[in-house]
Structure 1
């Protein structure tokens, strides 16, 4: 990874783990491990659980070390894990929630060049990165009218057909974040054999953000004036995952036909991997 940082869940401080508190190659972060049971000629219930890894840290600035230790202690005490972010050579940002549960100094004659072994618990079991946003215009936003959504984005919108395709380039189903823009009544999106549906109205100028990431599932309504409310109960979950109408159904692999009832959609697939990519 070309850059590495730790962001405290409590203080919000971002610690540079390259130039101030060096984690070196941090090879422990690149390790991978599946938890499983053995069955007759196979594996049963393979999962990726939280796990411990070890990293050696070299101290360049003692004041940064003190601030880092205070923040990571607070993250554990307040049960607000931090986030480790690593940039691949391609610029892709990989993240995972983590806590520092143990330190073991290996030298102590001078704080400015101390070496400390860290025990880190990677809490998500996977690394995640956001793929490019796939945009689908509302029927009322016609090409050439220079209309835009009622809040800023760092990119331009391009028109798409009403019936179009969604692409998940990963070889396995992946979680997602979707933003559905109003006005629309009881919006529905059919994709990959599943119907994503909200039993509610989204007002003009408002939008609903749906996250299907494990441990972070949420459905939040944001109104035109910026007020937010939890509308989790409005997501249709008939039959649960693979039941045919589940609001958090992972996006299948490949190119998928999409049909919806005319509202605007932003879709971001969240790639999950056992280890960050190398390039």
Structure 2
């Protein structure tokens, strides 16, 4: 499909001309283009840089603690991160609405309930290593083979954690699209979408600008997004990722059709790389 091609998709129910929804697709990826600021396909074959398909600045691998880190590029594209590893992407002014998307899964067992998978998607300081602002993570899962074990899926604004609604199907081992979003005024929203575009885990969180932008008394409205983890205890869980995208739109502004397009693009990408979705 050529770059910038627009397609007209019918809205639910009656579809007169004024009710049709126009969705623009990005060339060669299938991801929604409206509001897309950065798109990192994680497809490089070597090195620690991750190029932006929109032409912006590349992301970079960060390994804060050397022990237990085992970064790997996956066959056909995508990355595997463990321990205190994450990929940092360029900072942005975060007062206005934004949404971060990624896709992937946790592979392997978490050896103890104390292991935290602390950064499926989120932010770090631009001047240090600690998580900052908002992020969405899972923690407290003793065994992916025993999903009844204590498990939590949370998101956070600095100083505030909120548990997301319980998943109908645990995302451990199963690939999901993960979204973290801010509406520009007062609310964070996080969601885990399955292959059908259904939000299995989701929830809002009230957040003030100070919670997003203040750390240790220092206010800085530039946030640096990350995917990966900052595990205090590492017992074997490895995160795999297929892509990272940042939009200048709140998640609530994405239609159900656009979410399905995002999920379909991620599913097709993972499948083409040899990691079929379920």
TM-score class normalised by the smaller sequence: 0.3 to 0.5
Instruction: Tell me: higher relative CO, structure 1 or 2? Use CA pairs within 8 A at least 6 residues apart.
Output: 2
Task: Provide the TM-score with structure 2 as the length reference.
Answer: 0.38
Q: Which has the higher strand share?
A: 1
Which of the pair has more CA radius of gyration? 1
Task: Provide the TM-score with structure 1 as the length reference.
Answer: 0.38
